[in-house]
Amino acid sequence: MTGIARPDGNVAEIARMGVARPDGTVAEVREAWVYDGGQWKKVWASFMPTGIDKSGNFTLPNTGVYHPLVGWVKRAGYPDGEIYQNAGILVPEGASVTVAGAVTFGGAGTLSGGTMRARVMINGLSELLNAPSPASSAVIPFGPTGWINTTGADAILTVEAYTTSTLSNRNVVQGGSGTFLTVTPL
C-alpha cells in the first residue's frame, strides 16, 4: 500500500497525488522516492494509459532486417500518456500492462514473394511480440498481450518493422492511426 504514516502508527492510503501548477491545474505525481541512508528506492509509481500513432510514412531503408519506427504522436483517447524520446513508450519497473497495436504497410500483404512483419521490443534487446502479415493484408495487428516489467528498471517499448520486398510499396510503413502502439495498466 502507498500512503502516509499517521501519528497513531496507521497508514493513510494515497489513491492519487498531485502537484499544483502555476495555472491552478494539478499535475499527477507519477513516482516517489525514499532515501534509506545508502540508496534511493522507488516507493510509488503510476502508469497512465498511453497510445501513440506513427507520424508520417517511413520507407524501410533495406529489406531482410528489422527497422525501429520513430516519429510518433499521441493517439486520440490517450491525452495523459507520454511518448519517450519520440521512439516508444516508457513502462515503469514493476508495472503490469496490456500491449497492443498494429503496423500498416503500403502494399497488399503477401502477394507473390515478400513477407512483412512487425514486433514490439523491450529496450531494443528482446522481443515482447512478433507478428507476421495476415494473408493478402497490409495491416499487421499484434496483441493484446499482458506483460509485467520485471527488467529491474524502467523499460521502453518500441515498434520495429520488417519486409523482404519493395514490390507494391511493401517497404513503406504508413503513418497515422493504422500504425500504432497502446500500453494500458492491467
pLDDT value for 80 = 81
* Sequence ranges of the domains in the chain: 3-45, 50-185
So what's the pLDDT on residue 72?
97
Name the DSSP class of 152. Answer: S
513477407: which residue's cell?
115
CATH class as words, domain 50-185: mainly beta
CB contact at 8 A, 133 and 161 = no
Rounded to a whole number of angstroms, the distance between the first and last alpha carbons of the chain is 17
The C-alpha cell that represents 85 in the structure block: 524520446
Counting runs of H as helices and runs of E as strands, what totals does the chain give?
0, 18
The pLDDT assigned to 184 comes to 93
70 burial class (0-12, 13-18, 19+ CB within 10 angstroms)? middle
The pLDDT, as a whole number, for residue 134 is 76
Least Cα distance to 91 among 151, 143, 11, 136 occurs for 151
- pLDDT tens string, the chain, 186 residues long: the values are 455 566 666 655 544 556 677 887 766 666 677 788 888 876 655 678 999 999 999 999 999 999 999 999 999 999 888 899 999 999 998 888 999 999 998 855 444 456 889 999 999 999 999 998 876 678 899 999 999 999 999 999 999 999 988 777 888 999 999 999 999 988
Q: How far is CA 91 from CA 23, 54, 68, 149, 164, in A?
A: 28, 19, 18, 7, 31
DSSP state of 84: B
- The reply to whether omega before 7 is within 30° of 0 (cis) is no
Q: Write out the three cell numbers for 127.
A: 522481443
